[in-house]
């Protein structure tokens, strides 16, 4: 699986890992801590492209997100996304992420 990820590294905007100290985590491929979880011959440090996705926990609730009908709340809540990773994720968290700057300007949501 990691060999496929390495081959397609330009397409990968974030990774997930779970650890005893940070619990559920989303991280950008260029996040240093993520590289320690995805290491070895096909690990993140060996990828030719390590996208710099940036994250932010929003103030939106899951119900707020379910009621979104246009992109205004998405754009508003993604402004300032700067974290390379988000730890301790939980049920109901609404996260914003902005993909690598060299990709088309698109805000996405998880």
Annotated domain spans of the chain: 2-109
Closest CA to 58 of 70, 35, 75: 75
Per-residue pLDDT of the chain (110 residues; tens, 9 = 90+): 888 999 999 999 999 999 999 999 999 999 999 999 999 999 999 999 999 999 999 989 999 999 999 988 888 888 899 999 999 999 989 999 988 766 555 444 44
**What is the separation of C-alpha 37 from the centre of its chain, rounded to a whole number of angstroms?**
15
Q: What CA–CA distances, in Å, run from 54 to 9, 20, 42, 67, 80?
A: 16, 23, 23, 24, 9
Q: What CA–CA distances, in Å, run from 77 to 26, 57, 88, 90, 110?
A: 18, 9, 20, 18, 12
Q: What is the pTM of this model?
A: 0.83
């Amino acid at each position: 699986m990691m060999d496929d990820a390495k081959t397609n590294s330009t397409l990968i905007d974030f990774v997930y890992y779970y650890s005893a100290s940070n619990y559920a985590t989303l991280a950008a491929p260029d996040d240093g801590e993520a590289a320690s979880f995805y290491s070895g011959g096909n690990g993140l440090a060996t990828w030719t492209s390590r996208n710099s996705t940036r994250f932010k926990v929003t103030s939106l609730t899951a119900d707020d997100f379910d009621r979104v009908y246009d992109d205004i709340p998405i754009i508003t809540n993604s402004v300032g996304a700067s974290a390379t990773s988000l730890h301790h994720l939980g049920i109901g968290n609404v996260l914003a992420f902005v993909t690598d700057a060299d990709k088309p300007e698109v805000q996405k949501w998880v």
